[in-house]
Amino acid sequence: DGYLAGSPYFGATVGRYCNRIAGGTFSLDGKEYALATNNDSNHLHGGDVGYDKVVWDARPIRRRNEVGVRFQYTSKDGEEGYPGTVRVTAIYTLTNNNELKVEFLARSDASTPLNLTNHCYWNLAGAGSGTILDHQLQVESDKYLAVDDTLIPTGKMLDVQGSPLDFTIPHAIGERLKAIPEIEGLPQGYDHCFVLRRDKGGMALAARVSDPSSGRTMEIFTTQPGLQLYSGNFLDGAEGNGGHQQYEAFCLETQHYPDSPNQPGFPSTILHPGKKYHHITVHAFSAR
């Protein structure tokens, strides 16, 4: 019960819309929709009962070079305020090439915003090893989304150069963390969406992170345009694997941009009837 009630999305599939939607409202086809507001006045990670809190149908996958689980869920029209009934499939696969593959597919019977991600927390040194502040991170991005004091995008894409968000070459996550401007009432740290460098379509490298103590490295490849870096700022000993304190794990969430339904300059996140939502993210692991 504690894990379900208090877990900060540990390992969860997040939707119908991951990250934030300003004011919990958006307009679509001339109609305004009111969503659950569970992050002060904003909508976060699908609302009060997002995809992380529902029961999915689970079926095993066994192939020659991989094993996994296929999860399916039907999100009904009106759920958390969203229009349309959405049939969602999430496939998690472990391969013999030391990869974790996450694949999302969905179809809707009405136009609706859709933005799915996996909310894994990582510490490449292992649980109980301390913080991730020494992990070396490189992100394939030259720009990030500026946000206001409630972490809602302003619509501006700012250059990372010369800022604490410049991970164009490897830096320790903790090296410049305290240089991030503080927001009153929020713990200091990274909670920012990067605009990934990518050609149209296809899979591309998004980030590489390594732990100097263990020699483990994780590379992330994705079809998504954005990557949210979260440095575990709000972790406070939450239940799960012995508890995790602030900065003891990080997230790299592949996704479309936050608040896109209210940002005309961002790529559309509207799934229309007859169209298929399909994104893949691969985590590739190695060790020296």
Written as six digits, the tokens of 39 are: 């992050």
The residues assigned a catalytic role are 119, 253
Convert the pLDDT of each residue in 206-263 to its tens digit. Answer: 999 999 999 999 999 999 999 999 999 988 876 666 678 899 999 999 999 999 999 9
Asked if pLDDT for residue 36 goes beyond 70, the answer is: yes
Q: Is the pLDDT of residue 99 over 90?
A: yes
**96 or 128, which is more confident:** 96
Element (H, E) at 6: helix 2-6
Residue 141: pLDDT band (50, 70, 90) is: very high
Least confident span in 69-73, 93-97, 123-127, 182-186? 182-186
CA distances from 8 to 128, 145, 240 (A): 18, 23, 10
CATH number of 2-287: 2.70.98.10
Among 67-76, 153-162, 196-205, the least confident range = 196-205
Per-residue confidence (pLDDT) for residue 5, from 0 to 100: 66
Q: What is the pLDDT of residues 57-96, one digit of tens each?
A: 999 999 999 999 999 999 999 999 999 999 999 999 999 9
Report whether pLDDT(126) > 80. Answer: yes
pLDDT at 114: 99
Prior bond of 16 cis (ω within 30°): yes
In the prediction, which pLDDT does 6 show? 64
For 222-256, b/e burial (b = at least 16 CB within 10 A) is bbbbbbbbbbbbebeebbbeeebebbbbbbbbbbb
**162 burial type by CB count under 10 A (0-12 exposed, 13-18 middle, 19+ buried):** exposed
Does residue 271 register a pLDDT over 90? yes
